[in-house]
Amino acid sequence: MPKLKFKRVLLKLTGESVSGEGGFGIDQKIVRDIALEIKEIQEMGIETAVVIGGGNIFRGSIAANDGMDRVTADYMGMLATVINGLALQNALEREGVHTRMLTSIDMRQVAEPYVRRRAIRHMEKGRVVIFAGGTGSPYFTTDTTASLRAIEINANVILKATKVDGVYSSDPKKDKNAVKFTDLTYMEVLQKDLKVMDTTAITLSMDNKIPIIVFSMKEKGNIKRVLSGEKIGTIVKGNK
């Protein structure tokens, strides 16, 4: 077996990545496809943690714009990530993958509370760990959760799965002159205001020197490709 480039990875899935057409709800077939990809990397011996978003169900900032109290709206968003987490956990277990879901908001009947040492222990035992509930605090995002948890568990890399095959100078769907970047520094992302992750997530990753690989989940097998060292997507790190 070739030497693994990464031993422990944190995969960030947006809520949209488990949704069907229109970006809403949960499409079980898509969740199963994702579960199969996670199974593949788990079988390669890579320790895997997943942070899942909730934007397919509820986004706090949008509800707040419509007049809702922001903190309440954000808690609803965080609960939405737990719904997605359960869907992913179920799909993984159906494929025979051992999992544990840990939530940053206590709901002991549903999942374990987040305890860093426990998360690490689960991964060492070969279980896929799902982090749900975001950071547990309003005004944050699950991208920031991904950076925070990745640092806490000493992951080697953050894999940011999107619907686009990397980071572009502008939206490739709207601008035919958009150029794809293969390598970026955190500073470039911040200065050019590129849509990789929100600024809190980028700053946290920069301060703690954890690389981010942005890639598309649309093509099957891409997680494995990225982890096998294939140059797909965009890598964001301290220097080029």
Interface with ligand UDP (CB under 6 A): 14-16, 53-55, 59-61, 73-74, 77-78, 80-81, 134-135, 137-138, 140-143, 145
Nearest CB to ligand UDP, comparing residues 75 and 181: 75
**Is 232 exposed, middle or buried (CB count within 10 Å of its CB: 0-12, 13-18, 19+)?**
middle
The CB-of-74 to ligand UDP minimum distance in angstroms stands at 3
Nearest CB to ligand UDP, comparing residues 124 and 139: 139
The CB-of-79 to ligand UDP minimum distance in angstroms stands at 8
Nearest CB to ligand UDP, comparing residues 23 and 45: 23
CB under 8 A, 24+ apart: contacts of 218-224: 218/163, 218/165, 219/165, 220/33, 220/37, 221/37, 221/40, 222/37, 222/161, 223/11, 223/37, 223/38, 223/40, 223/41, 223/159, 223/161, 224/37, 224/40, 224/41, 224/44
The CB-of-16 to ligand UDP minimum distance in angstroms stands at 6
Q: Which residue is nearest to ligand UDP (CB)?
A: 53
Nearest CB to ligand UDP, comparing residues 142 and 222: 142
Beta-carbon contacts of 202 under 8 Å, excluding residues fewer than 6 positions away, are 147, 186, 189, 190, 196, 212, 236
The CB-of-204 to ligand UDP minimum distance in angstroms stands at 12
Nearest CB to ligand UDP, comparing residues 113 and 138: 138
Greatest distance between any 2 Cα atoms in the chain:
55
The CB-of-126 to ligand UDP minimum distance in angstroms stands at 26
Nearest CB to ligand UDP, comparing residues 71 and 179: 71
Q: At what angle do helices 116-124 and 142-152 cross, to 10 degrees?
A: 70
The CB-of-22 to ligand UDP minimum distance in angstroms stands at 14
